[in-house]
Amino acid sequence: MRPTPSLVVAFVVALGATTLAPSAHADKRLADLVERVAPSVVNIYTGGVRSPATPWEAVFGGPQRWESLGSGFVIDAESCLVVTNQHVVGPADRIRVRAWDAREFDAEVVGADEGIDLAVLRVPGCELPAVTLGNTRDLRVGEDVFAVGNPYGHGNSVTRGILSARARSLGRARFDLFLQTDTAINPGNSGGPLFDDEGRVVGVNTAVDGRAEGIGFAMPVELLRGALRSLLKSRSVVAGWPGLKLEEHGSGRLQVLDVFAGGPAQKAGVLPGDLVDEVDGRPVRGRSGWAETFEIAFPGDTRKVALERGGRRVETELVLVDRAAWAAASVGPRAEIAFLGVEVQSLAPDDAAAFRLESGVQVTAASRRSYFARGDVFVELNGSLIRTLADLSRAAKQVERRRSMNAVFIRRGETRRIIHAW
């Protein structure tokens, strides 16, 4: 299980007891709901072989067998499709699904995406009912929620709590929007459903704050709905991008700082200095207000935005795009630098603005054995300034010829240096 960038987080979640003693009527109603939805929840057991990450590991230990467990829920009874977290299945070579009545099945991955942390499994012959997907737009903080999951492999267990907060960020690069709930946290609940008080799925239980008790996080069901379009076709899930940069004022109002050429905001007529009033008819204040509409967004989606410009109201519509496709159109295709184990691209205008650079070269993909990582921006290589792909290509050839490297680069906003000789 891996931590998120900004929190020490275990990717497990379940719902805990409310602080107020529920009435007998409430207990009976919850029991009725559980009887209805529990057959749609499954327990997932996975295993695989982890290859050595370094020569040292290869010599001392070799490949290591690993096992994991989690939860999931049926979204399509006819095709026996089950949703879970991607980190539950990972690179598994064996996936077993156990139904509420103790039947077990082999499962196969239909589609999985690490960035959004969702996976869809096909479980032939499961003959289980599907859940009903709800929505979170009108779900209020303080409302009752409950979960059914597989803590520590004990099988279907029911826990209950409330929605504690909306629009929480865990520091992910994309799709960084979570529901927060008070919860009893146990390994094995990852990927299970968070239900509202009508028995509809409103979230996918994904993470907890390992520093505290009663702080768990679930992905809003709207993210699942949007991701299914790609996952069912075994494609990567891409976020919708609006093509602008915002700044939050002390009052909570959002002002447009920058509009990127060729992006959705420029095409919609948005200008630097505009103040955001509403998105899709709802007032927007602060990052959380923006995230509630734009973190649940995919290429091709539209958002109606009301702006204040010079004291007057301006209404427009943004058609969101794939940022990578926009970047490729803006700065050209990617290139492979094989000796460094990286794939790179000229720095896109939005990243250049973030790094306060006029130009540069950024790593878009890196092999496991590379010294560099996705997102790194080259500054110098063996004394040569890196501003273009041609600069990097020439410098990399020198590194290969001399069998030595002195690299200066930016990683997560910090300037770093690597010196190495082969």
pLDDT by residue (tens digit) across 224-247? 999 999 999 999 999 999 999 999
Inform me whether the pLDDT recorded for 17 exceeds 60: no
- Domain ranges (residues) in the chain: 9-21+132-224, 39-122, 240-323, 332-421
For residues 133-162, give the mean pLDDT: 88
Inform me whether the pLDDT recorded for 172 exceeds 70: yes
Inform me whether the pLDDT recorded for 22 exceeds 70: no
pLDDT for 58: 62
Give me 186's structure tokens.
Answer: 């146990």
Q: Do domains 9-21+132-224 and 39-122 have the same CATH topology?
A: yes
**Catalytic residue chosen out of the listed positions 40, 68, 71, 87:** 87
Confidence of residue 138 (pLDDT cuts 50, 70, 90): confident
Q: By C-alpha distance, which of 209, 226, 215 is closest to 136?
A: 226
Inform me whether the pLDDT recorded for 153 exceeds 80: no
pTM score over 0.95: no
Give me 111's structure tokens.
Answer: 């589609």
Going by CATH, does the domain composed of 39-122 fall within 2.40.10.10?
A: yes
Confidence of residue 129 (pLDDT cuts 50, 70, 90): very high
Active-site residue, 393 included: no
Inform me whether the pLDDT recorded for 1 exceeds 50: no
pLDDT for 354: 85
Inform me whether the pLDDT recorded for 13 exceeds 70: no
Could you tell me how many residues make up the chain? Answer: 422
What is d(CA 357, CA 349) in angstroms, rounded to the nearest whole number? Answer: 9
Lowest mean pLDDT among 186-190, 256-260, 302-306, 416-420: 186-190
Q: What is the pLDDT of residues 201-217, one digit of tens each?
A: 999 999 888 776 778 89
Active-site residue, 346 included: no
pLDDT averaged over the chain? 88
Q: List the CATH code of the domain at 9-21+132-224.
A: 2.40.10.10
Residue 220: what residue type?
Answer: P
Coil vs helix vs strand at 355: helix
What is d(CA 107, CA 46) in angstroms, rounded to the nearest whole number? Answer: 10
User: CB under 8 Å to 299, separation ≥6 — which residues?
Assistant: 238, 239, 240, 241, 320, 321, 322, 325
Q: By C-alpha distance, which of 107, 102, 43 is closest to 81?
A: 107
Q: Judging by beta carbons within 10 Å of its beta carbon (0-12, 13-18, 19+), is residue 132 exposed, middle or buried? A: middle
What is d(CA 155, CA 33) in angstroms, rounded to the nearest whole number? Answer: 18
Inform me whether the pLDDT recorded for 109 exceeds 60: yes
Cβ neighbours, 10 Å, residue 61: 9
Active-site residue, 190 included: yes
pLDDT for 3: 43
**Catalytic residue chosen out of the listed positions 40, 71, 113, 117:** 117
Record: fold of 240-323: Pdz3 Domain (2.30.42)
Q: Which CATH superfamily is domain 332-421 in?
A: PDZ domain (2.30.42.10)
Q: What is the pLDDT of residues 255-293, one digit of tens each?
A: 999 999 999 999 999 999 999 999 999 999 998 899 999
